[in-house]
């Protein structure tokens, strides 16, 4: 199995370099992944350990200890847990992490605390927990999981955005010797996201709620219009070497919109939660405490179009500049006061008519102090950086390089905005 996974991953990478990517607008019905010659790209993998709850803690601890260098660094706000729920998928989250589905059938919310729930929304027939694994580490992770199997059943599956088939067609079971494999209940109707390349952050949409991204009814897995409204594109810039990062740093950038409400409409950004577009007409309050005294910072806010946006935007990565603020002094960043900073590009709220839009906040340190920022004006771009102020697709890395700012953010956060008339 290990050699097969290596070949699969190599084929996946070759396909990506050729520039292919998922078609977000299509149904998941009768689709195949790149590893079988199709066009569904694997965003990440899950390794589930199931059935024998008395051995869960041992398996989790051995796996985590062996791959500790690939889990979030010590001091992470999330520890070894994932900063998202079980329905998230991204090519760019760099760490292995542990997913605990506290309201899913037979889950373990903490070591030694395993319960069996009667929730009809959980598709698994047996107690289980699982790890989220980046694509580049799946072969070694699956190989080691088999070595320490003990008395748990194991399951490996891909995350492509077509969740039903990911748990039926694209799956590898390793049950206990002489025992049948567990099974998926309800014909896979417990999965909220069934559009290629999509996912959702259950933890942010409805904290401590069921793993359904806020959509509590069963959704037909073949009809993309019935995918939960909180499912958004996770595979951005597919097939591009400069693909965009859609994840939070270990210490996320603090951001708060001046809106109040319940569940979906919380004012605080929580690494993937949802807002109504009409609630976001003024910029959020931004703070970050891990700063260098006397240093200056630049904040870049980008939007990524959703499934209803034009094919040009999706094909180009679809990054649009919404807000750029530079020369933010360290003391002002800690206080959330941008009065003395330089507004390079004014805040542009999400368009309520544009469908679901994902917005990302990126904070960078300016290594040489204050900068006289300039925006490019030519759609042709710069010959050196490839930068162009194209409203459909802006190369923000070129902008940062031209001003002497590195392209590795100090802190990030992200959220999604959907039209206020959307129902589900």
How many CA atoms lie within 13 Å of 301's alpha carbon, on the beta-carbon side?
24
Give tens-digit pLDDT for 63-94: 999 999 888 876 565 678 887 888 888 776 77
Distance CA 132, CA 86 (A): 8
Write down the pLDDT at residue 262: 39
Q: Is the pLDDT of residue 318 over 80?
A: no
Enumerate the domain spans of the chain. 2-233, 254-418
Distance CA 134, CA 131 (A): 10
Question: Which pairs with CB-CB distance under 8 Å and at least 24 residues apart come from 281-285?
Answer: 281/349, 282/257, 282/258, 282/347, 282/349, 283/323, 283/347, 284/255, 284/256, 284/257, 284/258, 284/361, 285/255, 285/256, 285/257, 285/258, 285/336
Give tens-digit pLDDT for 362-397: 999 999 899 988 765 443 344 344 444 444 446 677
Give tens-digit pLDDT for 292-316: 999 999 999 987 755 333 333 333 3
Tokens 């590893």: give the residue: 35
- Specify the CATH number of the domain 254-418: 3.90.280.10
- Between 166 and 415, name the one with better pLDDT: 166
- What residues contact 379, with CB distance under 8 A and at least 6 apart? 388, 389, 390
Q: Which fold is adopted by the domain 2-233? A: Alpha-Beta Plaits (3.30.70)
Please report which helix (H) or strand (E) contains residue 5, including its range.
helix 2-17
Whole-Å CA distances, 298 to 286, 330, 358, 411: 12, 11, 20, 11
Write down the pLDDT at residue 76: 60
Nearest to 133 by CA among 168, 180, 184, 172: 172
- What residues contact 393, with CB distance under 8 A and at least 6 apart? 312, 313, 316, 317, 318, 319, 320
Whole-structure pTM value: 0.60
Give tens-digit pLDDT for 50-65: 888 899 999 999 999 9
Q: Strand pairing of 285-287 and 254-256?
A: antiparallel
Write down the pLDDT at residue 316: 36
């Amino acid at each position: 199995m290990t050699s097969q996974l290596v070949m699969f991953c190599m084929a996946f990478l070759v396909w990506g370099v050729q520039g292919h990517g998922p078609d977000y607008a299509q149904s998941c019905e009768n689709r195949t992944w790149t590893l079988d010659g199709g066009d569904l790209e694997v965003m990440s993998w899950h390794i589930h350990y199931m059935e024998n709850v008395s051995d869960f803690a041992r398996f989790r601890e051995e796996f985590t200890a062996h791959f500790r260098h690939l889990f979030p660094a010590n001091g992470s706000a999330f520890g070894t847990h994932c900063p998202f729920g079980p329905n998230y998928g991204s090519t760019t989250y760099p760490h292995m992490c542990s997913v605990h589905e506290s309201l899913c059938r037979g889950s373990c919310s903490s070591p030694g605390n395993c319960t069996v729930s009667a929730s009809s929304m959980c598709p698994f027939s047996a107690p289980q927990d699982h790890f989220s694994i980046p694509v580049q580490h799946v072969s070694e992770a699956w190989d080691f999981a088999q070595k320490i199997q003990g008395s748990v059943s194991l399951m490996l599956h891909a995350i492509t955005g077509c969740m039903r088939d990911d748990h039926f067609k694209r799956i590898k079971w390793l049950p206990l010797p002489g025992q049948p494999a567990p099974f998926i209940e309800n014909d896979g109707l417990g999965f909220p996201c069934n559009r290629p390349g999509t996912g959702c952050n259950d933890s942010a949409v409805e904290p401590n709620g069921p793993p359904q991204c806020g959509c509590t009814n069963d959704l037909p897995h073949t009809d993309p219009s019935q995918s939960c409204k909180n499912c958004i594109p996770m595979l951005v810039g597919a097939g591009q070497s400069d693909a965009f990062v859609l994840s939070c740093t270990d210490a996320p950038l603090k951001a708060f919109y001046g809106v109040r409400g319940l569940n979906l409409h919380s004012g605080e950004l929580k690494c993937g939660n949802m807002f109504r577009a009409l609630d976001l007409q003024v910029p959020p309050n931004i703070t970050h405490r891990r700063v260098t005294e006397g240093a200056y910072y630049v904040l870049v806010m980008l939007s990524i179009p959703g499934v209803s946006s034009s094919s040009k935007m999706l094909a180009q990565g679809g990054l649009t500049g919404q807000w750029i603020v530079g020369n933010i002094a360290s003391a002002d960043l800690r206080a959330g006061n941008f009065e003395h900073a330089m507004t390079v590009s004014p805040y542009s709220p999400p368009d309520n008519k544009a469908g679901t839009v994902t917005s990302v906040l990126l904070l960078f340190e300016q290594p040489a102090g204050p900068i006289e920022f300039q925006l490019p004006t030519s759609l042709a771009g710069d010959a050196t950086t490839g930068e162009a102020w194209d409203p459909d697709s802006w190369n923000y890395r070129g902008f940062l390089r031209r001003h002497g700012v590195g392209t590795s953010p100090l802190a990030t956060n992200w959220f999604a905005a959907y039209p206020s008339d959307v129902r589900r």
